[in-house]
Structures are given as C-alpha cells and as structure tokens.
C-alpha cells in the first residue's frame, strides 16, 4: 500500500531551483532514505512533505492527504525528528512528552499509557524523571524519536537523525528505528549523508542538485557498479593509467594520489597488476562497491565522508554559538 505519493515536485527559492521536479512513492512499512551531499535538496523536500514549506509546483499525498491543502491532517499523520534540537532541557523526559501530547491533543486518558509505551520503546523508561539536560546526545535523540511517535504517526520523518553522534550511538538509534518498522509497521522517511546509514534503508533515492539520479534498494544500486573497486598508488600515476588502458582496456580515474578503477574480479586482478608493473605499485586496495561508488558512478563526484564530517563539525559549532547567544 502506498503511503506517500510524490509527483513532480518543484521548489524554487527566487530564481534558484532547489528541487527540480522529483517523483517517487513510498510503501507502508518501508524505511525509505534520501541520500545526497550537502545542498542536494534533501531538507527542502522533507520540509515540503511535512507541510513546513510550500511547494512551487507538483503534488504530494501522504496518508491520503494533500500536503498543500490538508496540512492539519498531514501533520496529524506524521512524526518529526529534525536536525535542530528541540527538547526543553529544564523539563524531565516525561514532561517533554507530556507537553508534546497536549500540543497534539492526545486524549488525557491515553497520554500516560502512551508516554510509558514510547519511553520503553527507546529504553528511557528508567530515566523518565530526569531532567533532559543530564542526558547524553544519543539519549536526547532517542527521546526526540519517542516524542515523534507519541501521537501514533503513520510516517516518521527523520532529517539527519544521527548527525554529530558517535558511531555506537548511531547504531543504537538505528536498532530502535528498525524495531519500530518490524514491530509496528511504521513507515520511516529519512535523509542522511552517511553511507553506512543509508545501507539500513529498504530503498534509497540518491539526490543530487535537486534531482533523483537513482532509486532502488542498496543491494541493487551497488550491483549497478558491478565487480570490485581498486584504488592503487603508483610512482607515476599518469603514465601507469595509460599503460593500464593499453594493457587491460580499463579506464582509471585519478583521485588525489590514487588511481581508481573498476574490475570484474579484484582478487585475480591485484596479483596480475603487481606482477605486470614491478616496483611501480606503492599500495593497492580492493573493495566491493559502496553507495559512495554508486554516487561517484552516477555523478562523477564522491560524497566524501571526511568532507561531510567537516560540515558536521561546522554545523555543531554554529549551533553551540547560537545556544550561547540565547
Ligand atoms: N531559504 C532558502 N533560500 C534560498 N536558498 C535555499 C534556502 N534553503 C535552502 N536553499 C538552497 O537550496 C539548496 C538545497 O538545500 P537543502 O537544505 O534542501 O539541501 P540538503 O540536501 O538538505 O543539504 P544539507 O545536508 O546541507 O542540509 C541548497 O543549494 C541551499 O543553499
């Protein structure tokens, strides 16, 4: 059953087209991911689907409601966990949930039971009476997820849910998200630029410059690359690239100080190239295709994690600067 149907959505900021006519559908119970580099249009799209931003043209229907015309019904159908921290630090975990429940008109007689239910889901029931300021970053994010589920949404939107969190906490949050899907059939729509995170999704739309460049399961996307990826450092990269072309009819790409090439079978290619270019190979690495390789193949650019980490750090700094000014 289709829970979200998006048809030819365009979003313009002035003359600039941030989202360029994208279309897709999400099935009930799916974990659907939007993967792309900074500025690709992920947040803009998610905000449109959550009714926080108007669209320029196109149509989106969520849980049977038009996001442009039936905003209240759409809002009642969704839970939100956005990049910006939005808990009240001075309230306890339970009080934060209570406040949200009142805003969403969760009937009073149900609210206690619901709060207990969602706190249990994210393993925070023991800490319900603690002020949120005493929580770690991961606990806060789990509480935000619990809050997003309090009014029993049909679709949970997660915009970069684990940004700035350590890998262990990221994994813990993912385990919770997968459980929610498995146990309650919840549909999850998320954006990320972490490759390993995107791997958890049932399907991924790869977005670049406001356009969907591919949409499929992680396994099928990676199968598009085919074979193995070799990165090799030699003492004369340009010269060796030419020789590789001549000898094996393989095109290699210069990436920093490495040559990158795709081969059918890495385990047989490595000994062959080492033997064919004695003394020239300084290092060689072989790996199965990742989603980064898929992105590179589709766009000619890499979503490099180190660049992204830089952006994360900068975003964190801006947030602390903002908080300090309050
Ligand atoms: N309010 C705005 N006014 C003008 N341009 C905007 C506005 N918001 C976003 N943009 C531009 O639209 C494009 C898409 O931005 P968006 O925030 O949707 O990207 P993103 O993929 O979510 O990136 P990030 O991961 O950095 O949040 C970017 O080029 C951005 O600069």
* Nearest protein Cα to ligand 1, atom 7: 13
Neighbours of 54 (CB within 10 A): 11
What is the model's pLDDT at position 37? 84
∠141-155-109 over CA atoms, to 5°?
A: 80
Strand order in the sheet with 65-66: 16-27, 2-13, 57-62, 65-66
Side-chain-side CA neighbours of 196 within 13 Å: the count stands at 9
Cα–chain center distance at 143: 19
**324 vs 8, more confident:** 8
Task: Give the chain's domains with CATH numbers.
Answer: 2-221 (3.40.50.300), 227-288 (3.30.70.260)
What is the model's pLDDT at position 306? 41
pLDDT bracket for residue 30 (50, 70, 90):
very high
* Candidate from 22, 42, 82 with most ligand 1 atoms within 8 A of CB, to mutate: 42
What is the model's pLDDT at position 315? 62
pLDDT in tens, 204-258: 999 999 999 999 999 999 988 878 999 999 989 999 999 999 999 999 988 888 9
The C-alpha atoms of residue 160 and residue 24 are separated, in whole angstroms, by 20
pLDDT in tens, 282-320: 999 999 888 888 888 888 777 754 445 555 556 655 665
* ipTM (interface predicted TM): 0.95
For residue 269, what are the CA distances in angstroms to 172, 188, 229, 263, 289?
38, 41, 11, 7, 16
pLDDT in tens, 134-192: 998 888 988 998 899 888 899 999 888 777 777 777 787 788 788 888 888 899 999 88
**Tokens representing 319?**
């947030």
Neighbours of 59 (CB within 10 A): 15
Indicate the pTM of the whole model.
0.81
pLDDT bracket for residue 83 (50, 70, 90):
confident
Pick the atom of ligand 1 nearest to 315's CA.
Answer: 26
Statement: residue 116 has pLDDT above 70: yes
State in Å: Cα 204 to ligand 1 middle: 20
* Nearest protein Cα to ligand 1, atom 5: 13
Pocket lining for ligand 1, CB < 6 angstroms = 13, 16, 18, 36, 38-44, 193
Residues 93 and 140 sit within 8 Å (Cβ to Cβ): no
* Candidate from 9, 44, 189, 210 with most ligand 1 atoms within 8 A of CB, to mutate: 44
Residues 266 and 286 sit within 8 Å (Cβ to Cβ): yes
């Amino acid at each position: 059953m289709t829970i979200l149907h998006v048809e030819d959505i365009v979003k313009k900021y002035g003359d600039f087209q941030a989202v360029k006519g994208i279309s897709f559908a999400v099935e009930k119970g799916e974990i659907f991911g939007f993967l792309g580099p900074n500025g690709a249009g992920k947040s803009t799209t998610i905000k449109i689907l959550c009714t926080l931003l108007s669209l320029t043209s196109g149509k989106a229907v969520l849980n049977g409601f038009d996001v442009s015309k039936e905003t209240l019904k759409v809002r009642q159908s969704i839970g939100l966990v956005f990049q910006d921290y939005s808990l009240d630090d001075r309230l306890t975990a339970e009080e934060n949930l209570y406040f949200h429940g009142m805003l969403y008109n969760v009937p009073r007689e149900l609210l206690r039971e619901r709060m207990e239910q969602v706190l249990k889901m994210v393993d925070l029931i023991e800490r319900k009476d603690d002020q949120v300021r005493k929580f770690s970053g991961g606990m806060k994010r789990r509480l935000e997820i619990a809050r997003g589920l309090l009014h029993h949404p049909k679709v949970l939107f997660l915009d970069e849910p684990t940004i700035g969190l350590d890998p262990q906490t990221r994994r813990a949050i993912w385990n919770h998200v997968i459980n929610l899907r498995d146990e309650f059939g919840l549909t999850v729509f998320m954006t990320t630029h972490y490759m390993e995170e995107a791997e958890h999704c049932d399907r991924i739309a790869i977005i670049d410059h406001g356009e969907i460049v591919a949409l499929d399961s992680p396994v099928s996307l990676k199968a598009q690359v085919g074979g193995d990826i070799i990165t090799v450092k030699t003492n004369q990269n340009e010269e060796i690239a030419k020789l590789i072309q001549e000898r094996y009819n393989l095109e290699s790409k210069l990436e920093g100080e490495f040559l990158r090439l795709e081969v059918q079978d890495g385990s047989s290619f490595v000994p062959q190239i080492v033997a064919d270019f004695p003394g020239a190979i300084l290092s060689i690495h072989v790996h199965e295709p990742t989603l980064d390789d898929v992105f590179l193949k589709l766009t000619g650019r890499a979503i490099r994690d180190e660049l992204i980490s830089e952006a994360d750090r900068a975003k964190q700094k801006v947030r602390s600067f903002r908080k300090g000014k309050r």
